[in-house]
Amino acid sequence: MSAVLPENRRKKPAPKGPVAAPPDPILGAPGAPHAPEESPPPPEATTTTLRPPAPPRKKRAAKMPEIPRALQVIAGVLVVLAASIGVAWGARRYILTSPRFAIRTVLVDGNHRLTAEQVAGAGAVNVGRNIFELDLETAAAAIGTDPWVERAVVTRSLPGTVKITVVEREARALAAMGGELYLITRDGDPFKRSEGADPTDLPVITGLTADKVAADRPGVVQALRRALDVVEDMERAGIARRYPIQEVHLEKDGTIVVTVGKEAIAIFLGQTRFREKIEQASRVLSEIAKRKANASVIFLDNEAHPERVVVRMR
């Protein structure tokens, strides 16, 4: 059964025909401003097609030029070299300044004529000096400038020891040349002018002039060797032990005259076969000593008849 609604709630029938629009709340309201007499026409409709925005383009990174392989290797080598130089410089600075490498001990070997202080001083090998600052070859060369030193070798032993080994020259005779006396080695080398502290108890070789030395030094050295050979032969024969050799005179023609003993006995040996004649002179001197005679000259210079001996007595 249908419910009966109250009269005031019944639906009113919709009006037929066009319905007037309600007044404009702004323009039609009482007291509102009057609308303009004529409004501008609306703009013509246009059709716009909207597209989605394009994605942003990625910026390309600037392409760096490729470094050649050779340049990379060179650069690496330079870096390593620079580092090595830095390390080497630091190491060098350390070893040249560290007290650990100061010279504390100097050993000198082979010296007889010179003192250890003279040898070390000649090479500037001083206690307290840095051992690496010392140039070994330079020090050895400086020591070798001393006329008594034939050669020198300088070595170092870390951390602070330097050893100097020298070979000294040995004077075998004195040679009178140009009014001066010179010390002579066994090889005939006049290595030093004789001075006050030098040995004097040596045979003196005479007969050489300054002009001869200046004009023919190799010839002079050869003549000095011949004279020294005679000295050694007389020592070997025992003559020098009984009659010390005083002088060996070299004549211009090659004749050698030896003066021996305190009696200054002159022995003429001629120009050749010196060893045979020296042995003969030894027998003659022994016979003279037995007779207690006093000879002044013994002639053994007969080259045609070497067996003949002439003795001149005082």
Domain end call among 149, 168, 187 = 168
Average pLDDT over residues 240-246: 93
- Whole-prediction pTM value? 0.66
Number of domains in the chain: 2
166: closest CA among 115, 102, 104, 103? 115
215 and 309 belong to one structural domain: yes
Count of residues in the chain: 314
Is residue 156 one of the residues assigned to a domain? yes
Segment 56-79 shows an average pLDDT of 67
Same domain, 182 and 291: yes
Predicted confidence (pLDDT) per residue in 132-160, tens digit: 999 999 999 999 999 999 999 999 999 99
Angstrom CA distances, 80 to 68, 75, 77, 86, stand at 19, 9, 5, 10
pLDDT of residue 233: 95
Verify that 236 and 269 share a domain, yes or no.
Answer: yes
Domain C-terminal end among 168, 193, 211: 168
153 plus 211 within the same structural domain: no
Beta strands in 145-264 (DSSP E): 149-157, 161-168, 173-177, 180-184, 190-193, 204-208, 245-250, 256-260
Inside any domain, residue 112: yes
Q: Are 222 and 188 in contact (CB under 8 A)?
A: yes
pLDDT tens for each residue of 283-305: 999 999 999 888 999 999 988 88
212 and 308 housed in the same domain: yes
**How far is 20 from 28, CA to CA, in rounded Å?**
13
Q: What is the mean pLDDT of the chain?
A: 82
Residue 257 pLDDT greater than 90, yes or no: yes
Final residue before a domain boundary, out of 112, 135, 168:
168
Q: Which domain holds residue 161?
A: 101-168
Q: At what angle do helices 217-236 and 274-291 cross, to 10 degrees?
A: 40
User: For residue 291, what is the domain's CATH number?
Assistant: 3.40.50.11690
Among 27-41, 58-72, 216-230, 253-267, the range scoring the smallest mean pLDDT is: 27-41
Q: Which two tokens stand for residue 39?
A: 């409004």
